[in-house]
Structure 1
Amino acid sequence: MSSHNPCLTCGACCAHFRVSFFWGECQSAGGSVPDDQVILITPHRVAMRGTEAKPSRCTALLGDVGQGTRCTLYEQRSSTCREFEASWVNGEHQPQCDAARHAHGLPPLLPTMEPELSPDRVA
């Protein structure tokens, strides 16, 4: 996929899935996720505020889904967020990305073909 990050014009995953993870990722336990941005869902798991019930939308998501978005906690985001990938970013289809986009009326991302430079071509 090109160097353009499709997530910056999407945000559907942040407004569709529950973002839950081990509480040890919170700042009070030595992690990076701000404590005031999570809610306890089990004795050992937390969820990002706004994603604990449907309809969900993470409170850290800024902007309009499908238009222009960003995470206000990007550097402090959880492992769940760090591990989620948009379809085709690394050359692989991600059905969860398609599901989130579909829930917001967005088409699935498509793979793009970037031209490869042959050894005898100069960029």
Structure 2
Amino acid sequence: MDYNCVECGACCATFRVDFHPSDGEAQGGRVPEGLYDELNGSIARMRGTDHTPPRCRALRGCIGEQVSCLIYDERPDPCREFEAGSDACVRARRRHGLAESA
């Protein structure tokens, strides 16, 4: 099955995204300031991902139609490691009423 992330974006509007603050621009990392909050010395979180419903502030577009990440090249490790077609991906797609396969 082929999962087209550029049409989907469900993961960006389903899961909280936590990462180490050293991955943030304020500490010399790649994630731009203004798009995350440093919660403590060991956790930073992408803004919008802890809202109800969650939606990452870096996500643009309409879920299931056409989306893009404003910081794709600078996105944090959890986003880089997320696998299209994984169980988590399928759960996110279901939550947004999308087919389990693209």
TM-score after normalising by structure 2:
0.92
Gaps of 5+ in 1: 88-93, 111-123
Aligned partner of 2:39 in structure 1 is 41
Of the three residues 78, 89, 95, the one matched with 1:97 is 89
Matches within 5 A, 1:46-61: 46-61=44-59
Please give the secondary structure, in 1, of the residue aligned with 2:5: helix
Runs of 4+ in structure 1 deviating by more than 4 angstroms, as ranges, are none
Of the three residues 9, 18, 30, the one matched with 2:16 is 18
Gaps of 5+ in 2: none
Aligned-pair identity (%): 41
Structure 1 stretch displaced more, 42-51 or 76-85 = 42-51
TM-score after normalising by structure 1:
0.77
Kindly tell me the number of residue pairs found equivalent between the two proteins: 102
Query: CA–CA distance in 2 between the matches of 1:42 and 1:24?
Result: 11
Aligned partner of 2:69 in structure 1 is 71
Query: CA–CA distance in 2 between the matches of 1:52 and 1:46?
Result: 12
Query: Rg bigger for which structure?
Result: 1
